Amino acid sequence: MIGNWNTTAGRALRSLRNTSAPMTYTLIAVCCLIFVLGPASGLTPSYGTGETLAAAQRAYFRHWGVVPAELFDGPAREALTPATALFIHGSWVHLLGNMLFLFVFGAMTEERMGRVAFTFFYVGCGYLALLGYAAANAASQQSLVGASGAISAVLGAFLYLFPSARVTSLLPFLFFLPLRFPAWVVLPFWAALQWLALGQAPAGPGVAYLAHLVGFGLGFGYAWVRYGRRTKVRTARAPAPEGENQP
């Protein structure tokens, strides 16, 4: 049994090393593993059920997520929460939506940046996106979790690096027919939707649209400053669904 597990793990690690985007797939695997082992998945019996499980989830999100009021006035460890929150997700829909976006847009972006630069870019922009949200909502006691800020940064960088890449979009007003548009059409449209949703978002828990916009701007700005016009890449096709999930 142990021998079979070691063989399977060894094959997985070799495949990961040989892929062109190892950090993208590693980030996806880590987020999925953390979610499955945590209380939000509902798969770990030790967290209990019913109200006991709900209480465990609230405590878990508060410990590992960003609580704006505590980030600026709490203990020093709170400064780490914008980084830890990137790997925590609130539901299956939340996780799968974010990981789908990372899977589609992350691989090509990592190939262009390189694995080390991409990793620092992902974590750094994600941290700053959550920090920006917390600064704008400094009195909030609501915990914020999710990789959406970092993934939004990947979208912003992708837009600059691969503006002509064809992206598959599912448009609800066209009965969710899959249509292909260049990234320079789809991704600004996505960002515009986030801006409009931000203006209509109610106070309290929900989708942190501001973190999406901050991350998107940071990602686009980083790619623009770091790579410039001469290194912009035109690529073939990159299929991706259009949509967004809460962070």
* Catalytic positions: 148, 212
The tokens for 201 are 């978002």
CB atoms within 10 A of CB 232: 15
Q: Which helix (H) or strand (E) holds 167?
A: strand 166-171
CB atoms within 10 A of CB 99: 21
Cα–Cα distance for residue pair 28/16, rounded to 1 Å: 12
The tokens for 66 are 């960003």
Residues 107/162, Cβ–Cβ less than 8 Å: no
Contacts 24+ apart (CB under 8 A), 171-178: 171/242
Residues 245/97, Cβ–Cβ less than 8 Å: yes
